[in-house]
Amino acid sequence: MSKKELNIFKLLSEKPWEASQVIIDNQHDGKTLASSKAKLGVRTVMVVSTVIFSLFVVSYSDRMLVHDWKSLSEPWLLWINTFILILTSFVFHKSKVYSDENNFEKVKNSLLLVGFLTFAFITGQLLVWQHFIGIGQYASTNPANAFFYLFTALHGLHLLGGLFFWGKATTKIFKENFSLSKTKQAIELCAIYWHFLLIVWIILFGLMIAT
């Protein structure tokens, strides 16, 4: 059992009506678990996003059973975009490793590469949209098209939101007197978020090419 699980079990087993527990509670600093606001924020976003994407996946699975459903074509650029996102997640992982080793010169280069690759992925997705529009596959043409535009747009918006916090983390590390602990935490949380978006995309992409 992990330390966090032990803390949760301890909290659940407390008896606040007893005099001894009242004394302990009065000395409490107000924090339930040792988790920062930033971590809680990222976890909340990931949970909410998981629920939203799950609902859309269920809707997709139900809608494809209707007779007017026509499978999408699979442009080769989607495979390249997927590889770019995998590479981005890997580079972010390396950034986290370099950060733990206090090798911030390599962290700077890695974060800049992450930004470049992420913009390349978003640009690639827009090119896929342009390809579909060019061959007349609009959102109104086929329900599968509509779901494709919806999935990619929603995923892209999540990436743009991640880029905002990537920008804040990158800006911190280029300052002369940056906070070591806050910068490391920012890099760690961004890396976790990028890994999450990679998993989401692989699930969505796998669902679309399989149907």
Confidence of residue 32 (pLDDT cuts 50, 70, 90): very low
**What residues contact 16, with CB distance under 8 A and at least 6 apart?**
22, 25
Enumerate the CATH 1.20.120.80 domain ranges in the chain, comma separated: 37-210
CA angle (90 as vertex; 89, 95 as ends), nearest 5: 95
Structure confidence at residue 173 as a pLDDT band (50, 70, 90) = confident
Summarised one tens digit per residue, pLDDT across range 132-166 is 999 888 888 888 889 999 999 999 999 999 999 89
The first and second tokens of residue 191, run together, are: 């890396």
Phi-psi category of 102—alpha, beta or left, where left has phi over 0 and alpha has psi -120 to 50?
A: left
What's residue 33's pLDDT? 46
- Pick from 36, 29, 38, 35: nearest CA to 4: 35
Residue-wise pLDDT for 35-85, tens only, equals 577 788 888 989 999 999 999 999 998 888 888 888 877 789 999 999 999
Is pLDDT at 202 greater than 90 in this prediction? yes
pLDDT band at 34; cut points 50, 70, 90: very low
pLDDT for 119: 95
The per-residue pLDDT for 121 is 96
DSSP string over 119-173: HHHHHHHHHHHHHHHHTT--TTT-HHHHHHHHHHHHHHHHHHHHHHHHHHHHHHH
Q: Write the secondary structure of 28-75 as one string of H (helix), E (strand) and C (coil).
A: CCCCCCCCCHHHHHHHHHHHHHHHHHHHHHHHHHHHCCCCCCCCCCCC
pLDDT tens, residue by residue, 89-148: 999 999 999 999 989 899 999 999 999 999 999 999 999 999 999 988 888 888 888 999
Lowest mean pLDDT among 23-32, 134-143, 179-188: 23-32
Query: Which pTM does this prediction carry?
Result: 0.78
CATH topology of domain 37-210: Four Helix Bundle (Hemerythrin (Met), subunit A) (1.20.120)
Alpha-carbon span 162 to 138, nearest angstrom: 28
What's the rounded mean pLDDT across residues 189-205? 94
